[in-house]
Amino acid sequence: MVDVLLGLQWGDEGKGKIVDFLAKEYQIIARFQGGPNAGHTLYLDDKKIVLHTIPSGVFHPGMINLIGNGVVIDPVSFLEECNDIKSHGINLKACLKISERAHLILPSHKALDRASESAKGKDKIGSTLKGIGPTYMDKTGRNGLRIGDILKPDFKQRYQNLKQKHQQILKNMQAEDDIDQFEPAFFEAVEALKEYEIIAAEFWLNDQLQKGQKVLAEGAQGTMLDIDFGTYPFVTSSNTITAGLCTGLGIAPKWVNKVYGVSKAYCTRVGSGPFPSELLDATGEKLREIGKEFGATTGRPRRCGWIDLVALKYACMINGVTDLVLTKSDILDEMDSVGACTSYQIDRQEIKDFPYDIIETTVTPNYTYFPKWDKPLSTCERAQDIPRGFRDLIALIEQQTGVPVTYVSNGAGRSQLIHLV
């Protein structure tokens, strides 16, 4: 049986923390898409750890962590992460498996990412510049290199062939070719990568499922960044949604059980693109400041606004969410009033279904406001202690999405999570 946990907004919903919390119920945690563009933050006691490619179950003794075929791996970033995790006393080689079908991010993919973004000028996506887009392009363009290729005797030749293609593109774009300087670190990291267990993960995982092992699939990014259903073209290059776990791990839909959808109790976005409920005023700044809304991967300030129930309802539908998890609820304690966008006004019409042409359309959000809570959420430990105002917000979310809120996270710490029954 596989449960999946994924983001319902534009990423950074707090997925890492929730996976780390739920991990004890599972034997395997598996990443199925994305790559080092992800930044999943966990706290072990007071120690902050940010994971990029490695699943968030890695700090649980006995857990097997799998990097699935749908993930793209940068050996250099992977190695840095491994060293960081090992410094916490984890025997990573014993608890990590990597699909031989996962694609490799080369230094030239990162150069192409930079070139593509700078060519777009003011229309840039706001990519993390980790080479994600170009690597997935090579995958679907049938030119990519896979993790299994690093074990082949002619790997260096295959690398050179692809690099030369990339250099030609960079030349045509009149972009900087600084690839050579990154090669020594790349090949060193490739050697280190070989020491990990590289496997035919689809066979291994299906075998584990047959044996009754419980798997939690950990999403990266968020539904509104999905390549098909997000705010295209301001999206990432993979399927971030529930459907992505079948192609990203090699398992059939029949195994999928619960779908945990994670949403902040407000909303953020990092990078360019539409964000209807964005607050470009002092309230937005206050959310950023109190919520410490700066990217875990790039450090960029996150754009902030109220929760968007039009987008959330759409995300619940696309993913088949069975359980909602609301994070960062404690941040709302500080706000004088709290808004929730319940519909969009487009050309004098009230819209409740997330529109296709969101990029070219002027959207005016309609809000419901809740007065300041009468007591703080940050110190709550039980469902019955949740302040009335936040309870009303939960009721609105449940009514509009049709999905129950199962957990409320009220702090970054591992145990700061309230189970609603």
Among 109, 114, 130, 166, binds ligand IMO (CB under 6 A): 130
Among 7, 9, 10, 12, binds Mg ion (CB under 5 A): 12
Does the protein bind ligand GDP through residue 39 (CB under 6 A)? yes
Does the protein bind ligand GDP through residue 13 (CB under 6 A)? yes
Nearer to ligand IMO, 55 or 133 (CB): 133
Nearer to Mg ion, 41 or 366 (CB): 41
Prior bond of 355 cis (ω within 30°): no
Instruction: Count the alpha carbons within 13 Å of 294 in the hemisphere toward its beta carbon.
Output: 6
Residues 6 or more apart in contact with residue 94 via CB below 8 angstroms? none
Exposure b/e, 161-190, CB count within 10 A at least 16 = b: ebbeebbebbeeeebeeebeeeeeebbebb
Does the protein bind ligand GDP through residue 296 (CB under 6 A)? yes
Nearer to ligand GDP, 331 or 358 (CB): 331
Least distance from C-beta 327 to ligand GDP, angstroms?
A: 4
Residue type, 77: S
Pairing of strands 215-218, 2-7: parallel
Does the protein bind ligand GDP through residue 219 (CB under 6 A)? no
How far apart CA 275 and CA 351 sit, in angstroms, is 15
Within 387-416, which residues bind ligand GDP (CB under 6 A)? 409-412
CB 324 within 8 A of CB 316: yes
Does the protein bind ligand IMO through residue 270 (CB under 6 A)? yes
Task: Give SS3 for 22.
Answer: helix
Q: Is 60 among the catalytic positions?
A: no
Within 295-334, which residues bind Mg ion (CB under 5 A)? 296
Among 4, 28, 34, 40, binds ligand GDP (CB under 6 A): 40
Angle at alpha carbon of residue 246, lines to 243 and 251, rounded to 5°? 150
Does the protein bind ligand IMO through residue 11 (CB under 6 A)? yes
Please count the residues of this chain forming the interface with ligand IMO, following the rule CB under 6 A.
Answer: 24
Does the protein bind ligand GDP through residue 16 (CB under 6 A)? yes
Q: From 36-44, 64-72, 80-88, 281-289, give the range in contact with ligand GDP by CB under 6 A.
A: 36-44
Residues 6 or more apart in contact with residue 170 via CB below 8 angstroms? 108, 111, 112, 115, 176, 177
CB 10 within 8 A of CB 235: no
State the Cα torsion 99-100-103-105 to the nearest 10°: 100
Does the protein bind ligand GDP through residue 263 (CB under 6 A)? no
Distances (CA, A) of 411 to 18, 65, 197, 416: 11, 25, 35, 5
Among 53, 56, 127, 319, binds ligand IMO (CB under 6 A): 127
Record the tokens describing residue 245, joined without a space. 């776990």
Nearer to ligand GDP, 55 or 144 (CB): 55
What angle, 0 to 180 degrees and rounded to 10, lies between the N-to-C axes of helices 183-193 and 75-86?
Answer: 60
CB 33 within 8 A of CB 217: no
CB 42 within 8 A of CB 409: no
Does the protein bind ligand IMO through residue 17 (CB under 6 A)? no
**Catalytic residue among 3, 12, 113, 138, which?**
12
Q: Is 178 among the catalytic positions?
A: no
Least distance from C-beta 229 to ligand IMO, angstroms?
A: 14
Does the protein bind Mg ion through residue 6 (CB under 5 A)? no
Residue 221 interaction partner, one of ligand IMO, Mg ion, ligand GDP, none, beta carbon < 5-8 Å per kind: ligand IMO
How far apart CA 362 and CA 393 sit, in angstroms, is 26
Residue 410 interaction partner, one of ligand GDP, ligand IMO, Mg ion, none, beta carbon < 5-8 Å per kind: ligand GDP
**Catalytic residue among 3, 20, 40, 166, which?**
40
Instruction: Please give the residue ranges that form the binding site for Mg ion (CB under 5 A).
Output: 12, 39, 296
Active-site positions? 12, 40
Instruction: Please give the residue ranges that form the binding site for ligand GDP (CB under 6 A).
Output: 7, 11-17, 39-41, 296, 327-328, 330-331, 409-412
